[in-house]
Chains A and B, each alone.
Chain A
Amino acid sequence: MALLGAAPAVGVVFLSVGVALLSERSPTRLELERAWAPPSVALPLGAGEAGVDLLAALAHGTTRALLLALAVVAFGFMTGTPLGAAAGMAGGSRATALARACDLVQSFPSFLLALAVLAAVRSPGRIHIGLVFCVTAWAPFARLALLQATVLRGAAFVEAARALGASRFRILLRHVLPNLLGPVAVQCGSAAGAVVLGEAALGFLGLGPRDGVSLGALLEQGTAGMLRAPHVLISSALAVAAVSGSLQLASESLRRAVGGQDDRLE
């Protein structure tokens, strides 16, 4: 069941990366004479503004969004999880302090921060977007690891390890971390979906990468040209929905398989 739920996400990844890597189509080459051309044999999804090949643009845009999500989520997972686990093991004031810090970061309007930072950069790129997202990416992972570690702290096997004289670091590394990795890792899918949506939203506002190869920029093209060429809007909206929806579905079904907590229910 869990694997079935992850199948759409795997499909989206293979499709976009496959087209981006294997086909010769360029996402930036413009041919004015084919601007807003409807789908045809030569252009399976048609062309967008200034004749950009939509299939190539969507595939490259999705691939780059996925790479950005991978980097941000990997950073958040690798910093947040040990932080939360260590604070949960320590308990007391340190656990409370981390919980408060997570509250603070998660209630921080990070989209506004991204806007202010991107406004100040001369030519914003994915690297800037990624850096801003990284500032807040660790919090959900830290919170989940904190919850799990607080539960594990009282488990019999942790007590046994303590009785055998294992150091705190050893208990954390060998006994607690392996047991909370699963429930925390299922968070990765929904976190990646959020990064993809955030990047698309910034691109839609015109704050994305300058070369215009991003899902959001294509969606913006589609909105602007919806009267002339609705295929641009339809295919880019479907792409955004497919990427974020499939990541969410994968995360949800993996969560059910591992029996993890639903963070959205508080």
Chain B
Amino acid sequence: MGALRLIASRLGMALLTMWLLSSAVFLALRLLPGDPAALVLGDLAEERERAALRAKLHLDRPLPRQYAIFVRGMVTGDLGPSLRQPGIGAFTRVRNALPPTARLAGAAVGLGALGGVGAALLSVGPWLRRGRRWVELAGIALGATPLLALAPVATYLLAVRLRLVPLPGDPSAGAGGLLFASGLLALPLGAHVARIGRAALLELGKAPFLSVARAKGASQARVWILHALPAASAPVVAVVATQLGALLGGAVVLERLFERPGLGTLILEAYASRDLPVLEAAVIASGVLFVATQTTAAAVHALIDPRARSS
């Protein structure tokens, strides 16, 4: 069973990645110069207050002991209470921040996958004739435009100047804001999906089974959508799942771009207020989402496409 072995080794890699990331986060916040207690309380705080905070964060224990406490907290899902909202556990704040992030990432990836597969079909199918080249060029141009530059400019033009769409961060905009933000995000994602899908479809274009379908009198739409598309789906599924992971893990920049709430906003908030338990929990949760989606993607890819198992 090649697929099962691959999934098992992927799972091992995912656990290793998570262990490395969480240990790096643990060490980064403890080994780097500067007293975390001073960072949290400011330079003017009294030594007594700092000592109390250090004791609360277990910073007064030896490092191996701190690490043991940290690992136990990771496993039991309890990294201590938030410093800024005492009484609320760090992981609880993370859990509350997850739904908006998941909604944005899910909508963006869904729109991107639909648009990208559609564009890939249009760029290889016979429907557009000359226009096929333009679909491909538009995809390349979109893929090369960084979202970091595109998103604020598009927000300015469409939401501020033309007032065609609501501001993506406006809480009263509801679904409209979500749709605009995810639609914008979907552009580069869709361009990437289209590129991969096009390459896979072109490779299949001359395959005998498509000629058979054509010989049986199937329409062009039937040949491309029912016969070619499923055979080309494995790399597309892999790309889409990787994108989902990247969006969940990269929520920090996205949510700042669109000024929307979520896991990324929580990370920035915890960073700005030096809420160390929440920062640890949120960064690790972000990493878990990122790695878990990537691992699932590899497993699904291996299940669909036997060729992916060989490496």
A contact residues vs B (CB 8 Å cutoff): 99-100, 103-104, 107-109, 111-113, 115-117, 119-122, 197, 200-201, 204-207, 216, 219, 222-223, 226-227, 230, 233-234, 237-238, 240-241, 244-245, 248-249, 264-266
Contacts and interface: CB of A to CB of B under 8 A. Distances in A.
Contacts of B268: 205-206
A249 B150 CA distance: 18
Contacts of B16: 104
Contacts of A266: 235, 238
B125 interface: no
B32 interface: yes
B126 interface: no
B290 interface: yes
A216 B252 CA distance: 14
Contacts, number: 124
Interface stretch (B22-30, B58-66, B114-122, B209-217): B22-30
Given A205-B252, A240-B146, A226 B156 contact: yes
Contacts of A230: 156
Given A115-B271, A223-B152, A104 B252 contact: no
Given A104-B17, A205-B252, A115 B32 contact: no
Interface string B273-289: 01000010001001100
Contacts of B28: 113, 116-117, 119-120
Interface of B: 13, 16-17, 20-21, 24-25, 28-29, 32-34, 36, 39, 144-146, 148-150, 152-153, 155-156, 160, 195-196, 199, 235, 238, 249-250, 252-253, 256-257, 267-268, 271-272, 274, 279, 283, 286-287, 290-291, 294, 311
Nearest to A203: B148
A52 to B, nearest CB: 18
A205 B253 contact: yes
A104 B294 CA distance: 11
Contacts of B283: 112, 115-116
Given A111-B250, A116-B25, A121 B34 contact: yes
Nearest to A245: B144
B149 A109 contact: no
Contact of A222 (B20, B25, B32, B152): B152
30 contacts: A103-B13, A104-B13, A104-B20, A107-B291, A109-B290, A111-B249, A111-B252, A112-B249, A112-B283, A112-B287, A113-B21, A116-B28, A116-B279, A119-B271, A120-B29, A120-B36, A121-B33, A201-B148, A201-B253, A204-B257, A205-B253, A219-B148, A223-B257, A230-B156, A233-B156, A234-B156, A245-B146, A265-B196, A265-B199, A266-B238
B310 to A, nearest CB: 12
Contact of B32 (A120, A226, A241, A245): A120
Given A107-B13, A107-B291, A201-B253, A241 B34 contact: no
A223 B195 CA distance: 31
Nearest to A123: B34
A248 B141 CA distance: 11
Of listed A108, A121, A122, A237, residue having the most chain B CB within 10 A: A237
A117 B32 contact: yes
Contacts of B279: 116, 119
